[in-house]
Amino acid sequence: MLYGRCTPHVSTVWLDGPCLRFPHHAKWKLGRAERLINSQRVVTNCHGEPLEQRSPTLKPVIVLRHAPEVPLGSLEQVFSRWQIPQLPFDLFVQTPKAIPLKDAAGIVILGGPMNVDEVETYPFLRAELDWICQAVDREVPLLGICLGAQLLAKAMGKPVYRNRIKEIGWHQIEVLPAARDDRLFHGRGPIETVFQWHGDTFDLPDGAVQLARGATCIHQAFRVGRSAYGVQFHVEMTPELIEDWLCDPHFSAELAELDHVDAASIRAQTPQRIAAMNDFSQCLLDRFAQWCWEASTSSR
């Protein structure tokens, strides 16, 4: 896939099929990563010519899961394409005493049906807040999705509360000017298509950079410091995962309570909306994966 909606003046890196493009002017340009890719990662160059291949030992990306019905989705394929190992923790099964952040290339915090304040019912939420603070302090690349974004806001001292409506199904968000030079969001927008499934929202952490907003939920994406991202929308969705959720008893019961959206309308929109969502989400996820790959192959 070509991410042609990024800036027109680009340098190109070929990786096992997809071609990722990066602006020459970007302050964060991954020059070292490009050199590492050329010597260690690339199978062929842009002319299809084989390049030298090595097998560096890669640090894993930690994945925090809150419910069996909320998997990595398309992120699993992205990490596989980058050959980045995953270290999953199914917190709904067992809560570890600690997670190995010092040995991690990144951390992904997935969604879930619970509220961040339900710590008595879900005690792992309390541990997660501490882990998130540690990850922010260590500047470990962090991506919090839906509940993960809310946990990031909570860990930074901000409240999480009911949004004025439940956002479920297909929505559009506005990518803000502050995202112009952002590592993950540069070149995107001004309007992007996303898939939502949430009822809560949060206050923006002090000093955070808001990257996107929505009409019915203001805080859609933000960055804390240099390394921690929260996205309220579900950037990991696939058509199969959408259908799984629409058929899941818990999800379908929640949807049945609403009068502004239903399963039939979501299904009807999915064939039209999925390509636009993929263009946006796969761009963000590939950029996050490259960032983790660079962290995995460099000395921290």
- pLDDT in the model for residue 56: 61
What percent of the chain has a predicted confidence (pLDDT) above 70? 81
- pLDDT in the model for residue 296: 87
- pLDDT in the model for residue 51: 35
Tokens (6 digits) for 124: 């792992």
Per domain, the residue ranges of the chain are: 61-297
Whether residue 1 has pLDDT greater than 60: no
Active-site residue among 66, 236, 283, 294?
236
Average pLDDT (242-268) is: 96
pLDDT tens figures, 81-102: 999 999 999 999 999 999 999 9
Tokens (6 digits) for 173: 């968000």
pLDDT tens figures, 182-225: 999 999 999 999 999 999 999 999 999 999 999 999 999 999 99
Average pLDDT (36-44) is: 39
Whether residue 125 has pLDDT greater than 60: yes
Active-site residue among 66, 128, 146, 292?
146
Whether residue 25 has pLDDT greater than 70: no
Whether residue 109 has pLDDT greater than 80: yes
Tokens (6 digits) for 59: 């640090």
Produce one character per residue of 118-157: b if its CB has 16 or more CB atoms within 10 Å, e if not.
eeeebebbebbbebbebbbeeebbbbbbbbbbbbbbbbbe
User: Across 126-202, where does the E strand assignment appear?
Assistant: 142-145, 160-175, 191-202
Q: Is 133 a catalytic residue?
A: no
Q: Are 152 and 142 in contact (CB under 8 A)?
A: yes
Q: How confident is the model at residue 50 (pLDDT cuts 50, 70, 90)?
A: very low
pLDDT tens figures, 126-185: 999 999 999 999 999 999 999 999 999 999 999 999 999 999 999 999 999 999 999 999
- pLDDT in the model for residue 298: 76
Q: Are 104 and 111 in contact (CB under 8 A)?
A: no
The Cα–Cα gap between 131 and 96 comes to 11
Q: Among 227, 285, 290, 292, which residue's Cα sits nearest to residue 110?
A: 285
Residue type at position 280? F
The Cα–Cα gap between 79 and 59 comes to 12
- pLDDT in the model for residue 20: 43
What percent of the chain has a predicted confidence (pLDDT) above 90? 79
Q: Is 186 a catalytic residue?
A: no
Task: For the chain, give the mean pLDDT.
Answer: 85
- pLDDT in the model for residue 28: 40
Average pLDDT (53-70) is: 85
Question: What is the CATH architecture of 61-297?
Answer: 3-Layer(aba) Sandwich (3.40)
Active-site residue among 234, 283, 292, 294?
234
Q: Is 283 a catalytic residue?
A: no
- pLDDT in the model for residue 271: 96
Please tell me which residue, 26 or 206, carries the higher pLDDT value.
Answer: 206
